[in-house]
Amino acid sequence: MANHKDFQGSGPLKGLRVVELGMLFAGPLIATNLADMGAEVIKIEHPKGDVVRGLGRGDNSLWWSVVARNKKLVGVDVKKPEGADVVRRLLATADVFIENFRPGRVKEWGLDYDTLRAVNPGLVMIHVSGYGQTGPYSERPGVGTLAEAFSGYAHVTGEADGPPTLPSFPRAGGGAARTGTYAVLAALWARDRNGGMGAEIDISLYEPLLSMTGPMLINYTKGGVVSNREGNRARWSTPRNTYKTKDNRWIAVSSAADSPAMRLFRAIGREELTTDPSWATNRERLKRVDECDGMIAEWMLAHTQAEVMERLNQFDVLAAPVNDIEGILQDPHVLQRGTVVTVADPVIGDTQVQEVVPRFRNAPGRVNWLGKHEVGTETRDFLIEAGYSDDEIQALHHRGVVKAS
């Protein structure tokens, strides 16, 4: 563990110090995950403010509220030599450094791993970029949308007769963030058991998405099959689809295993299919997927969503309503489990946000605050800790190197 003041947070990562130098989603969301678990996260943003502050409608970006929650803010222009020096001083006491600029950029600022580990050998540094630190595309600009296309994810998403479909949320950024989070934790585990040496980690935006497509790659390399869009169906499973109900709502069903499929057939009044060999296994059902979907869709359309769920639950069918956000917030399970919590904010008021995931029985993480509205709220505190005098901080502020309130 780096030698720094104890951060009075809570959660399993209490005492861990993280410095985040990044924009948009992938890198910052790694830091958010760590902050939610109790790590002290110092977010470096430009003195004029992070780009995420300008996303969305209105004066206050709700994206910023999510991405910057639980973080302390230091306003620094890292492109200026004095600004880069500020960040180097902060990194001397850090456990983790997260950056998601184009490969080579941090080296221009003297913030590359070899330079930093000479001062802090235990530092774990993670790079997140569009195409990774190596390869012919490494220097290309990369964002989540491009990764969703490049990885094949968009190619297999959407209706069979429709265009490749991009998600309406940062799927690539979220996937890279989850991967990056466990990579950081693995590196910290190795560091603390193997002599205290840190690590350098390289994550591209597209590779975590490729890994999420399941057997798409091996289906081609071993079978010559190019996966294509199939809507809500799955090439390997039936029944598996979404079905419209009488009240224009939707139900999702997944019953690839044989016993759940039989329970579904009983629930919709097709008991005879449970003893018919041509419906007994998933492989047999895949031969008549259109017929299977058709009979389920016909039954669903004759009932409301509430009626469907009541009936399917009676038979222990693998099904769930397709919720919009209103449905989620009104669902009794979500309410009782505490999936959503209310956090006070001095500008936008009390705000409902998702509780920290995952949950720990002991020392759980928590959402302490949402993204702070002023730039550099903790700049002065951390610069004083790093050895700067008040006069030096004031001079840096006047030269636009830092934003110190």
**pLDDT tens, 306-323?**
999 999 999 999 999 999
Q: For residue 385, which amino acid is it?
A: E
Tell me the C-alpha distance between 157 and 148, whole Å.
10
Closest CA to 17 of 84, 76, 81, 92: 92
Strands of 27-148 (E only): list them: 40-45, 71-76, 96-99, 124-129
By DSSP bridging, strand 40-45 and strand 17-21 are parallel
Summarize pLDDT for 59-103 with one digit per residue, the tens. Answer: 678 999 999 999 999 999 999 999 999 999 999 999 999 999 999
By DSSP bridging, strand 319-321 and strand 17-21 are unpaired
Domains and CATH numbers, the chain: 17-211+344-403 (3.40.50.10540), 240-329 (3.30.1540.10)
Tokens standing for residue 188: 């910290």
The pLDDT value recorded for residue 8 is: 52
The pLDDT value recorded for residue 144 is: 87
pLDDT beneath 70: ranges in the chain: 1-9, 58-59
Secondary structure (DSSP) of 206-251: HHHHHHHTTTHHHHHHHH-------TT-BTTBSSEEEEE-TTS-EE
Tell me the C-alpha distance between 31 and 42, whole Å.
9
- The torsion of the CA quartet 285, 290, 294, 295, rounded to 10 degrees, works out to -20
Q: Residue 152, SS3? A: coil
The number of angstroms, rounded, from the C-alpha of 317 to the middle of its chain's C-alpha atoms is 30
Tell me the C-alpha distance between 23 and 46, whole Å.
10
pTM for the full predicted model: 0.90
